[in-house]
Chain A
Amino acid sequence: MINDGWAGHILHLDLTELKAKAISAANYKRWGGGHGLGTALFWDYCEDKTLTDGRDPRNVCVLSSSPFCGTPVPSGGGRTEVTGIGTGQWPISWYTRSNFGGRFSSMMKYAGWDAIVITGKAEHPVWVDIRNGDVAFVDARTLWGKDTHATQEAVWAEIGMRRGTKSAWKLLRNTIDAGRTTQKPAVLCIGPIGENSVHGALINDAGNGAGQGGFGSVWGSKNLKAVSILGAGEVHVADPAGLIQARFITKEKYVDDPDKPDLTGWTGMATGAITVAFSAPPTHKRRPQACQSCIGGCRTRYANGKHNEQSCQETAWYGAFARRFYQDPVDIGNANLDAAHAAALTGINTYGLNSALPWLEYLYHEGVLGPNGKIKSELPWEQLGRPEFAAAFFDCIAQRTDIGADLAEGYLQALHKWGREEDLESGEADFPYWGMANHGYDPRSELEWGYGTLMSERDFNSHDLNNHLFWAPFGSAVSAKPMRIEAERAVELVAERLGPYAKGRKECLDYTESNMYSEALAQLVRWHLHYGRFWKNSCGLCDFKWANFFNTNTNGYWGATGSEDAGEQVWWRVVTGEDMSFEDGIERGRQIYNLDNAIWTLQGRHRDLCKFAPYIYKKDVQGFNLGMFPFFFWPAPDENGKWEYREIGSRHLDEARVEEWKSTFYGLEGWDAKTGWPTRRTLETMDMAFVADELEAVGKLGAER
C-alpha cells in the first residue's frame, strides 16, 4: 500500500524492555504529522498524564516527521518535531514541544518511519541504531560522558562510516539484501548536561538542536544517549509533477534572485541565504548551508572550518559580555563562537541564558552571589565574557557543582530557593512567562507573542506576524528608507489570511494600548496558535520562511501563504493527495491545540496558573524598549482610522484586564472560562469525544456555558 507523504509506520522504542515495535500510522493521519502526530501518540502511550516533570520514566518522548519531510516542499522538508513533558519550567513543566532542522526527519522517512515513540527507561545507557527496518539497542556506557560531537563521531565510527565524503558504499546490515548507501546516518544525541538530567539540556544533531522543553534531560533520565538513523528508501508523493511545478512557482514568483537578494525583509520568505550567526568573525569566506529542501540556508560554513555548526541562538547570548575584554570584532567573534562551541559540546540550550546570565551577574554585583555572598559561588564572575568563563559555567551546570546544583532544576526553581522573589517584581529576573527567558519580544509590546505564550506552554517563538509587521518596517526605519508597503496595505494583506476567525478584520492587528485586551486580539492569538499548531509544527514548515503574508516581489504584494499557486494547502495536496483548504488546516490546528490543552488540564493546569511574571503588570518597571530604542514599530490606526507604523513601547499590562482577556479567549475557544478547561460540547464537535471521556473520568471536564 502506498501512503502518499507517509512512510506508513511508527517505531515504538520501549527502553525498559529494550524492544522495538512497528505501529501502523493509519490511525494517526488526521493529526497531520509533527506536533499533531506526536501529541496523539503521547495521548495513547503515556499512561500517566498527571506528570509534571519530564524526567519521570513514565514520560513519553516522540520524534515526529511530517508528510512534507524528505520531499522538496520549500523550507518544509527537513524539520523534526519533539514532544513530551519537558523540564525546568515554572510552576509546572508542561507537555511541550520543540523542533529542529537538518535531515533527521528525512532519514526517518527514508528508513520507513513517520515517528519514533520513546517510552520507559533503560537499565544502563543505550543508543539506538536504526537502519531502515532494522533496529538495535546498543550499550552506550562507553559513550556516556562524551560531548555531543564526540558522540556523533563515535556512532559513525561504530557503524563504519568514514569522515567526510570519501565513504564507499556501505551495507545497511550484514547482508547485501538489506541494501547499500553512501549516506551517513543522522545522529541525534545528548551531552553531559542531558546525561545528568539538568534542565535546559537539548538534543543535538550535528548543529541542529531541539532546545526548548529540555528534552536532553528527558533522554538522560531515560538513559538514552543517542538515536542514529539511516534510511535508503523513498517518499511517495501524490502529484510529483504538481510538487515540482509549485516549487518552480515559488522560485519564480516569491523568492529573490540570489544575485540580487532583498535584505530588507519586505519579501518575507524571499530573503535568500542569510547566515544566522551573530558576532561571528567577519569574513567573506563563508557559504550558507541549509536543511533538507530549504529555499534559504541560514547556517554558516567558514573557510577556516572553525565552529561551523554554531548558528542562531547559540551565537547570540555571549557577545555582549565578550566585548568587555576584546576590542577587535574578530576577537569578539572568536570569543563568542568559542562559547557557542562549548555550549554545543555540553549540550545546553543557551536560550535561557539570555535572561539568566544578566540576572546572575546582577546578583553577583549586588553581593548576593559570590564567594562571600549568601549564594556561594566560586566561579570567576569578573571574567564573564571570556570563553574560559563560559566553559567553567557549563561545567558547573553539567556537574551540578557550585550554583549548578540549584540551577539544575530550573532558573525560577533556583530563584525561589534563594528567596529572590523580589527580582520578579523588579524585572531584574527577566523571565516573563513559565519560568522561561524573555525572547527579545517583550509581551508588554508584542502582544501576540506574549498572549500566545501565556495561552500555550513555552516561549512562543513564532515569527509570522513579527517578521512582517515588526521587522520589515524596522529595517526601513533604521535606515530612514521609505516603507515599501504602507501600514494600511500591510494590515489588509495580513488580515485577509486570518480566516476563519477574523478574515478581513484589520482591527485584530491594532497594537495600541486601546486594543490590548480586545476580542479582536483574542481572535488573532487564536488564529496564530492554530496556524502554528498545524501548518508549522505539524507539517514542519520552517518558522524562518513561513508564514509569508506579504511579498514585494508580487503584484499587489500578496505573499505565498494561503495562495492558490504555492500556499500551504497546495503543498499538502500535491504531497498527500488530500484536497484540504488553507482554513481546513487552521481547523486541524484547533483540534491539535485542544488536545494539547486537554493534556495540560490533566497535568493540573487551571486558568489561575496562566499568569505573567509580576513585573509585567507593574507601571514602574521599564520594558526593554523604554528609553532604549526609538522605533519599536507596530501597526496602529490614527484618530481618523488611517493606519501607520507607530512606536508602541513603554507600557505595562493591567492584570485585571488580562484576566478579562483570558475569559474572552476561553469563550472563543469554547472552553470553560472559569477554569480554562475544554468542554465536552467543543470536543465532540471536533470528533474528540475520547478526550472528553478521559477528562470527565478525572473530574476535569470544563463546564458548559
Chain B
Amino acid sequence: MMLHEFSAPSPKQASEILSMVPYRQRLKVGRMRWPSGFMPAPVRSLHEVHISLMIDEKSTPAIHFPSLSVWVDKVVGDSELARVIDTCASDDDNSYADRCRELHEIIGMRLAQLREIADLSDF
C-alpha cells in the first residue's frame, strides 16, 4: 500500500471535486459477477468511483484505469489524484484485484480529506 500526502484544496475546490458531474459526463464502468456477467454501473462522482472499486466475494470492478485517470483529471477536476491513480494503475507487479484495492484506499483517503475541508458530513 502506497501512502499519499495530498495537498489541501480550498473549501470551494473541495466541494467542486466532490460534486456529481452531469449525466453526459459520466464514466462508463461496471461490475463483473458470476453468473450474470457484466453489469453496467456508470459513475458520476468520486464517491461512486470509490464504491465501484470495492472488491467483494461476489463481484469484481470492471474499470479501465487509464480512462479513470483521464476522467478524474478532466471531468472531476482533481489532477493530483489523477496522477496518483496513474502511478498506482501502472504498477504491473500488482494484480488487477490488488490495484483495485489500493485505488479504493487512495480514493477513500482523498474523499475523507475533501469532505473534511468542504465540511460535508455525508458525501
**A interface residue numbers (CB < 8 A to B):** 265, 276-280, 282, 312-313, 316-317, 319-320, 323-324, 327, 329, 332, 354, 358, 361-362, 365, 430, 439-442, 463, 466-467, 471, 474, 477-481, 543-544, 624-625, 627-631
Q: Does B85 contact A (CB under 8 A)?
A: no
> B95 contacts A624, CB within 8 Å?
no
Give the residue among A479, A627, A629 with the most B Cβ atoms within 10 A: A629
Contact with A along B108-123 (1 / 0, CB 8 A): 0000000000000011
CA distance A630 to B35 in the complex (A): 19
User: Given A329-B54, A627-B64, A630-B96, A313 and B41 touching (CB < 8 A)?
Assistant: no
B residues 50-87 with Cβ under 8 Å of A?
A: 51-52, 54, 56, 58-60, 62-64, 67
Minimum distance in angstroms from A269 CB to a CB of chain B: 13
Minimum distance in angstroms from B19 CB to a CB of chain A: 13
Give the secondary structure class of B's interface: mixed
Closest residue of chain B to A471, judged by CB? B34
A544 proximity list for chain B (CB < 8 A): 35
Closest residue of chain A to B45, judged by CB? A324
CA distance A628 to B32 in the complex (A): 11
Minimum distance in angstroms from B114 CB to a CB of chain A: 14
> B51 contacts A629, CB within 8 Å?
no
CA distance A463 to B37 in the complex (A): 10
Closest residue of chain B to A333, judged by CB? B56
CA distance A276 to B29 in the complex (A): 22
CA distance A107 to B52 in the complex (A): 43
CA distance A532 to B95 in the complex (A): 36
Minimum distance in angstroms from B24 CB to a CB of chain A: 7
Give the residue among B35, B52, B67 with the most A Cβ atoms within 10 A: B35
B40 proximity list for chain A (CB < 8 A): 320, 354, 358, 430, 624
**B interface residue numbers (CB < 8 A to A):** 23-24, 28-42, 44, 47-48, 51-52, 54, 56, 58-60, 62-64, 67, 94-98, 122-123
CA distance A679 to B110 in the complex (A): 67
Closest residue of chain A to B96, judged by CB? A478
A313 proximity list for chain B (CB < 8 A): 36
A277 proximity list for chain B (CB < 8 A): 58
Could you name 18 residue pairs across A and B whose Cβ atoms are closer than 8 Å?
Answer: A282-B56, A316-B39, A320-B31, A324-B44, A327-B47, A327-B122, A358-B42, A361-B23, A441-B38, A466-B35, A467-B34, A479-B95, A480-B97, A544-B35, A627-B28, A628-B30, A628-B67, A629-B64
Contacts A279-B58, A358-B42, A478-B96 given; 11 further ones with Cβ under 8 A? A280-B58, A313-B36, A317-B39, A327-B51, A478-B60, A479-B95, A480-B95, A624-B62, A628-B38, A628-B64, A629-B63
> A316 contacts B62, CB within 8 Å?
no
User: Given A316-B33, A544-B35, A628 and B28 touching (CB < 8 A)?
Assistant: yes
Partner of B51, one of A276, A332, A361, A543: A332
> A276 contacts B35, CB within 8 Å?
yes
CA distance A625 to B39 in the complex (A): 11
A466 proximity list for chain B (CB < 8 A): 35, 37
> B63 contacts A320, CB within 8 Å?
no
Give the residue among B54, B58, B64, B94 with the most A Cβ atoms within 10 A: B58
> A440 contacts B36, CB within 8 Å?
yes
Partner of A631, one of B24, B42, B52, B96: B96
Give the residue among A324, A430, A463 with the most B Cβ atoms within 10 A: A324
> A463 contacts B95, CB within 8 Å?
no
Closest residue of chain A to B92, judged by CB? A480
B32 proximity list for chain A (CB < 8 A): 474, 629
B94 proximity list for chain A (CB < 8 A): 480
User: Given A479-B97, A628-B28, A631-B96, A439 and B48 touching (CB < 8 A)?
Assistant: no
Partner of A628, one of B54, B62, B97: B62
> A629 contacts B62, CB within 8 Å?
yes
Closest residue of chain A to B22, judged by CB? A365
> A478 contacts B58, CB within 8 Å?
no
CA distance A316 to B41 in the complex (A): 11
Partner of B48, one of A279, A323, A631: A323
> A628 contacts B29, CB within 8 Å?
yes
Minimum distance in angstroms from B121 CB to a CB of chain A: 11
> A477 contacts B96, CB within 8 Å?
yes
Partner of B95, one of A358, A471, A478: A478
Partner of A478, one of B36, B41, B97: B97
Closest residue of chain A to B23, judged by CB? A365
CA distance A481 to B29 in the complex (A): 24
Give the residue among A316, A628, A631 with the most B Cβ atoms within 10 A: A628
Minimum distance in angstroms from A385 CB to a CB of chain B: 10
CA distance A477 to B97 in the complex (A): 9
> B38 contacts A624, CB within 8 Å?
yes
B97 proximity list for chain A (CB < 8 A): 478-480
CA distance A229 to B94 in the complex (A): 55
B42 proximity list for chain A (CB < 8 A): 320, 358
> A320 contacts B24, CB within 8 Å?
no
Partner of B34, one of A265, A317, A323, A329: A265
CA distance A627 to B44 in the complex (A): 17
CA distance A317 to B39 in the complex (A): 8
CA distance A478 to B95 in the complex (A): 6
User: Given A324-B48, A627-B64, A278 and B59 touching (CB < 8 A)?
Assistant: yes
Closest residue of chain A to B44, judged by CB? A324
Partner of A630, one of B33, B36, B51, B64: B64
B41 proximity list for chain A (CB < 8 A): 319-320, 323
> A278 contacts B54, CB within 8 Å?
no
CA distance A317 to B30 in the complex (A): 12
Minimum distance in angstroms from B72 CB to a CB of chain A: 15
B62 proximity list for chain A (CB < 8 A): 624, 628-629
B123 proximity list for chain A (CB < 8 A): 327
Closest residue of chain A to B51, judged by CB? A323
Closest residue of chain A to B47, judged by CB? A327
Closest residue of chain A to B111, judged by CB? A327
Closest residue of chain B to A480, judged by CB? B95
Closest residue of chain B to A278, judged by CB? B58
> A627 contacts B67, CB within 8 Å?
yes
